[in-house]
Structure 1
């Protein structure tokens, strides 16, 4: 699993902005869609502000005047972990056929044991019905 982590470091997910672009292309192949009202045509992209907390991938729906990102409605929602860390966890889960070992996940992601357990639990819940095949589009070969 650690060799998979090293292979991941060479992939295109080292940059948070690139990770958002990649996930958005998978979730919204025809462009962003508001999770609240379903609007697809009147969506504005909001630039990240480096002077404040940078929020990559932030969108604004004009009709309902709500902000959203691709993280909403996914396992990444309400998580403070960077999207690159989540993608790395998914990559490692796909690389290992067995259940994700939280100790190896903690070491590979550089997070605490509690965070590694929470990430593993979310991955387990996300794949409970359909298995890891539901995460298959998130392979490193597809990003570059």
Structure 2
């Protein structure tokens, strides 16, 4: 099936997928590339049946292109799913479930569930090996201290506190990709395992003076910016700074507060994954973002897992 890979707008997307069958044919081509693979046994021979169904010879089970993907058991048409994915991946700051529901013609609750299924696939861009020069930092998602009720304000003497906030740890490769994760606290045993997992040994690593980064010089060329002394760029070496990742945190916070108003801690990682996906693919076309997600849609999210 030929699809125009130069799609630039919602109108062109709708024209490219005028029917449900066109969406099915496109998905089969993107995911299977002409060779049907059973989701139950990749080695099995597959028989084509009617109504876009297939049967796995080894297991005897029936399946279709939606099986094992975000689309499985969804009553929403693929045309609406495609439109939702396009809107989510192309909007620079995301889209709310209320707005999505209006745009594609579904209830807000349905749009919310669709968004959560889509976000569950965004993690494909949040597992990159980083090298070269990497900036590491944490931020806190939640209400500002000045806006808290009097009995919930955190004294400045307590230093870094995340009372009523959720800490997020990030690592950004200069001129490269970002990884970011919700963490239980900002202690060493929460921060350093992530650095060791995703940052290549020997890399030049830049962080601030927070004590949780101590000891990393054993594995990395660790440079420190002392923010407590109002230092934001090293006077000895102007390449030593955390300005890039701190700038990315500003974008994340504006997205969460401006678009979604409130995000529970339970679902925050999905929103962080969405931000990372959009940030890492900021230089590619909207069609490539759309296609990349469809190529990696094999994460099925059940409603009970979101609400339980």
Q: CA RMSD in A?
A: 2.4
Task: Select which of 13, 19, 22 maps to 2:23.
Answer: 19
- The 5 A counterparts of 1:1-144 are 4-10=9-15, 12-39=16-43, 42-48=45-51, 57-130=52-125, 131-132=277-278, 135-137=289-291
Contact 1:59 1:69 survives alignment (8 Å): yes
- SS at 1:44 equivalent: strand
Question: Distance between the aligned counterparts of 2:107 and 2:96, measured in 1?
Answer: 13
Question: Distance between the aligned counterparts of 2:43 and 2:34, measured in 1?
Answer: 12
Say which one has the larger Rg: 2
Query: 1:68-101 deviations in whole A, cap 9, x for unaligned?
Result: 0111221112211112211111111122121222
Larger CA deviation: 74-83 vs 124-133: 124-133
Query: 1:45-75 deviations in whole A, cap 9, x for unaligned?
Result: 2122xxxxxxxx2111123211001112211
Question: Distance between the aligned counterparts of 2:25 and 2:41, measured in 1?
Answer: 22
Q: CA deviation at 1:6?
A: 3.9
Which structure shows the higher helix fraction?
A: 1
Question: Number of matched residues?
Answer: 127
Question: Distance between the aligned counterparts of 2:292 and 2:81, measured in 1?
Answer: 11
Higher relative contact order (CA 8 A, sep 6+): 1
In 2 relative to 1, CA 113–97 (structure 1 residues): closer, same or farther, beyond 3 Å?
same
Partner of 2:243: none
Larger CA deviation: 124-133 vs 69-78: 124-133
Ranges in structure 2 where 5+ consecutive residues have no aligned partner: 1-8, 126-276, 282-287, 294-308
- SS at 1:97 equivalent: coil
Q: TM-score scaled by structure 2?
A: 0.38
Ranges in structure 1 where 5+ consecutive residues have no aligned partner: 49-56, 140-144
Question: Distance between the aligned counterparts of 1:124 and 1:78, measured in 2?
Answer: 17
Query: 1:87-117 deviations in whole A, cap 9, x for unaligned?
Result: 1111111221212221221111100011011
Which structure shows the higher strand fraction?
A: 2
- SS at 2:120 equivalent: helix
